[in-house]
Amino acid sequence: MQIDIAAVETTAGVELTGSPLRARGWLHRLDAGLGHLVEIPAALLVLAEIGVLLGGVVSRYVFRAPLVWSDELASILFLWLAMLGAVVAFRRAEHMRMTAFVAMSGPRLRAFLETVALVAGLIFVALLLEPAFEFASEETFVQTPALELNNAWRAAALPVGLGLMLIVAVIRLLETADWKLTAGALALGAGLAAGLVALQPWLRDLGNLNLLLFFVLGVGALVFSGVPIAFAFGLSTFAYITLTTHAPAMVVVGRMD
What are the pLDDT digits (tens) for 126-169? 999 999 999 999 999 999 898 889 999 999 999 999 999 999 99
User: What average pLDDT does the chain have?
Assistant: 88
Q: Which amino acid belongs to residue 44?
A: L
What burial letters (b/e) apply to 200-225, b meaning 16+ CB within 10 Å?
eeebeeeeeebeebbeeebbeebbeb
pLDDT greater than 90 at residue 11: no
pLDDT greater than 60 at residue 28: yes
What are the pLDDT digits (tens) for 58-77? 999 999 888 889 999 999 99
In order of 55, 68, 70, 140, 211, the CA distances from 61 in angstroms are 10, 13, 13, 34, 46
Crossing angle for the helix pair 19-61 and 70-91, nearest 10 degrees?
A: 160
pLDDT, position 2: 45
- What is the distance, to the nearest Å, from the Cα of residue 229 to the centroid of all Cα atoms in its chain? 11
Average pLDDT in the 196-211 region? 92
Instruction: Give the pLDDT band (50/70/90) at residue 23.
Output: low
| Coil, strand or helix at 150 | strand
Rounded Cα–Cα distance for residues 121 and 231 (Å): 6
Q: Which residues contact 194 (CB under 8 A, 6 or more apart)?
A: none
Report CA torsion sign: 31, 32, 38, 42: positive
Burial of 173 (0-12, 13-18, 19+ CB in 10 A): middle
| Coil, strand or helix at 65 | coil
